[in-house]
Structure 1
């Protein structure tokens, strides 16, 4: 499943949408030499992600650059099994990277073969508040439903996930809901979920809205196009039964900043190509 902290993006997008509604033209994502972008995904909640892979990486991991209303939010790296390896967050300078696979690493293959996959692994978080280890554990299950969004057929999952402090064992947060799998690219995408922290609950929906391939308008666009204004209505809703197709006219909002940031190799690996640019 996709474990990076979507609830952080939700709060950031709402705050910035209220503060700066004007749109500005931006140049596209610049991927490193030796790497090739293959997909841009516009999503609900005022976010857009660009995905690439690098020939110099023998493990063929996937890089994701995620942009919000305010510009570059994060760079993340995933294995072909969609095991979360590394994330760097540019709004607050944090980084999370895999310390050890743990007793039960994430396995997309297991999910596709059996219909369910459990996982438990440790991520080390570094940042302004210091260093700590977080245990991530949970379960993904295929619901058996196919969902068609922007002409792309996705497999729906339901999941539960919990983050625990590795030292104290105290629960940091829990999330449950639905996500989507694109099998041919071995990718997960966020969907409607509920984030629980203490006595507080937050409902999020960062479902994909548009899938854009190389050569299509909007590929490598860093500008989020959907739900970037607090009053905006979006036409896409998760289907209630069977497959459904969404259509929605893109809307622009916000000024994004062009950034060139450190690309994250998988832990223990060094790419031979220059590591400049950028979830």
Structure 2
């Protein structure tokens, strides 16, 4: 199902603003990260079973929204900064598998996406459990190592990234960590680790305002 959801911020006073989740969808988690980013996770009743959706926001507003399936494959992604939408190709050489990661400690993948301009990108990489677990804001997460390389349709490298991430077994999702990104234009390091997990009914749930790593923490 190739569905891009309309999202809006309610016109409330700044201290009370919340992200409005589309009708038929249910938000279950807000994550504040180190990198001046806040993410909101939700499910929608019209989606296939096991799908989860996420929107990311920085101080300027929404930067990304997309969906993963039950194996955490990137089934659709919309990047607002570039204005492009990517969809997972129907034929996947080696699909990403959250189940394999949990059961075998490793998941190798090789798949392609096609964007709305018809451009194909191939992603090849590996996720590995390190055997370490951490607790962040009362939530137990497993640490992973990863590497990924993106290629264009001619086989030229577009970018690569490596570092560590986290997974939640309960929420069946990946969460960003520390990484190094390399492209022909240069390289940079980032720390997008989660800091706070906020569930329905807790202060800050569905807040559009990132808190950490924004120059001045709120």
Quick check: TM above 0.5?
yes
What is the 5 A alignment of 1:114-129?
114-126=104-116
* 1:201 correspondence with 2:191: no
Q: 1:26 to 1:136 in 2, by over 3 A?
A: farther
- CA positional deviation for 1:101: 4.2
How far the C-alpha of 1:147 sits from its partner, in A, is 1.0
From 94, 115, 132, the equivalent of 2:119 is 132
Pick aligned residue for 1:181 from 167, 171, 174: 167
TM-superposed deviation, 1:26: 5.7
TM-score (norm 2): 0.90
Superposed, 1:1-279 pairs within 5 Å as 24-25=14-15, 27-126=17-116, 130-166=117-153, 168-198=154-184, 200-229=186-215, 251-252=217-218
Which structure 2 segments of 5+ residues have no match?
1-13
The Cα of 1:91 is off from its aligned counterpart by: 2.8
Give 1:60 deviation, angstroms.
2.9
Q: CA 1:26–1:120 in 2, change beyond 3 Å: closer, same or farther?
A: farther
Per-residue CA deviations over 1:162-214 (Å, capped at 9, x if unaligned) read 00012x10000010000000001101000001001137221111000000011
Ranked by relative contact order (alpha carbons within 8 Å, sequence separation 6 or more), the top structure is 1
Report the structure, 1 or 2, having the larger strand content.
Answer: 2
Q: CA deviation at 1:100?
A: 2.7
**How well do the aligned residues superpose, as a CA RMSD in angstroms?**
1.6
**2:100 aligned counterpart, secondary structure:** helix
CA–CA distance in 1 between the matches of 2:99 and 2:67? Answer: 18
Distance 1:66 1:193 in 2: 18
Q: Which runs of 4+ in 1 moved over 3 A?
A: none
Q: Distance in 1 between matches of 2:172 and 2:159?
A: 26
For residues 90 and 119 of structure 1, the distance between their equivalents in structure 2, rounded to whole angstroms, comes to 26
**What's the CA shift for 1:94?**
1.3
Report the Cα distance in structure 1 between the residues aligned to 2:48 and 2:181, rounded to whole angstroms.
Answer: 35
Larger fraction in helix? 1
SS at match of 1:102: coil
* TM-score normalised by L of structure 1: 0.71
Matched residue pairs, number? 206
